Amino acid sequence: MYVIDLTHYLDSKGAIAPNRGPARKMADFLTAVVAHASDFDRSDDAPGPVCFKCRKRDQRVVETGITEDDVVVWRCPACGTEGQISNWQGTFWDLSQGTPPS
């Protein structure tokens, strides 16, 4: 299980800090999970983010949710990789207050 503090992937302005490589790939995945899990206005059939680790071509979108203690959780049903993300509230990807205006 991956236990992630989202702020470890962000710079002082709240943007994704890593510019490239595996850390950037992970940061992109984690922020997509946070956006998906915290978007309470999305339709129930909106697909989750694609698993960053899964090598399987089919069914590699992750399931997301938020626990009672405000931890974002995710799991890939295809490969079994799972994790939890803390300190996501108030980031650019926190959509719990609605999507930001364009």
Residue 23 has pLDDT above 60, yes or no: yes
DSSP state of 16: B
Which pTM value belongs to this model? 0.90
DSSP 33-92: HHHHHH-TTS-TT---PBPSS---SSS-BPEEEE-TTS-EEEE-TTT--EEEEES-TTST
Residue 32 has pLDDT above 80, yes or no: yes
- pLDDT class of 101 with cuts at 50, 70, 90: low
As a whole number, mean pLDDT of residues 59-63 equals 86
Q: What is the pLDDT of residue 1?
A: 95
- pLDDT class of 88 with cuts at 50, 70, 90: very high
Q: What is the pLDDT of residue 15?
A: 96
